[in-house]
Chain A
Amino acid sequence: AQTVTQSQPEMSVQEAETVTLSCTYDTSESNYYLFWYKQPPSRQMILVIRQEAYKQQNATENRFSVNFQKAAKSFSLKISDSQLGDTAMYFCAFTMKTSYDKVIFGPGTSLSVIP
C-alpha cells in the first residue's frame, strides 16, 4: 500500500524568505503522480504543483518548485519569496495514473509566514 509522510507538522518562515517542506512516500509502482495541495484558513483545497514520476525535470510554478528524488522517494516543496498569503496547511499527495485511483494524502504541514 502507498503511504505519504510529512515529518514537519508545523513550520514558520519570515516574509520574503525561502522555506522547504519535506515529503517522502512509499510505493512499489513506477508510474504515478505527486502533488502539493494548499489549504488556507478559509479551507478550500487548491493545487499548488504536480509532478509526473516519469519526468526527471522538477516542476516549477512561479515561486513554487519541487525537488523530486525518485530513487529516494522524496518530494519536497520549496517556496521562494514567501508571502503572507502562503500561510496555510500544505498536503503532499500521491496518486496513480488515473483519477479513478484515490489520492493518498500526507498528514500535512502547517506553514506560518511571519511579517
Chain B
Amino acid sequence: DAMVIQNPRYQVTQFGKPVTLSCSQTLNHNVMYWYQQKSSQAPKLLFHYYDKDFNNEADTPDNFQSRRPNTSFCFLDIRSPGLGDAAMYLCATGGLWEETQYFGPGTRLLVL
C-alpha cells in the first residue's frame, strides 16, 4: 500500500546533541511537510518542500533544518535540541493540485 513512513518512531537524544528524523513516501507526491506537534495541540507547520523548492515558515527556529535528496525522502535535522523541542514530529505529503495531506505515524522525540 502507498504510504508515508517515518523512522524512527521514538527517538531519545541529549540536550544539544544533533538528531535527524527521517520520512519516506511511496505516494510519489510533489510536496512534503514537516510538522511539530506538542501534547494536546494542533500540528504546527515547520516547513515544506515543493519538489526541491524549500519553504520555511517565518517562525521556525534556525535550529531546525531540512533536506530532501529526492522525491521519496525528506529529513528533519535538529542541530542543537533543547528541552522545548521534545514533541511529536509529523511528516505529511501532498500531490500537486491535491488538497488532502497524508500523514505518517510520527516520530516522538524525547530530549534528556
Contacts and interface: CB of A to CB of B under 8 A. Distances in A.
Q: Tell me if chain B binds chain A.
A: yes
A108 B101 CA distance: 17
A108 B41 contact: yes
Contact of A35 (B45, B88, B100): B100
Contacts of B30: 99
Contacts of B94: 99-100
Contacts of A46: 103
B70 interface: no
Contacts, number: 64
Contacts of A105: 42-43
Interface residues of B, number: 28
Interface string A28-44: 00000101010000111
Nearest to A92: B42
Contact of A102 (B48, B102, B104): B48
Interface in A52-105: 89, 91, 95-100, 102-103, 105
Contacts of A42: 105
Interface string B77-112: 000000000001010101111111111111010000
B96 A99 contact: yes
Nearest to A97: B99
Contact of A45 (B43, B95, B96, B98): B43
A91 B44 CA distance: 12
B29 to A, nearest CB: 8
Contacts of B50: 100
A108 B100 contact: no
B31 interface: yes
Interface in A1-56: 33, 35, 37, 42-47, 50
Interface of A: 33, 35, 37, 42-47, 50, 89, 91, 95-100, 102-103, 105-108, 110
6 contacts: A45-B90, A45-B92, A46-B103, A91-B42, A102-B48, A103-B45
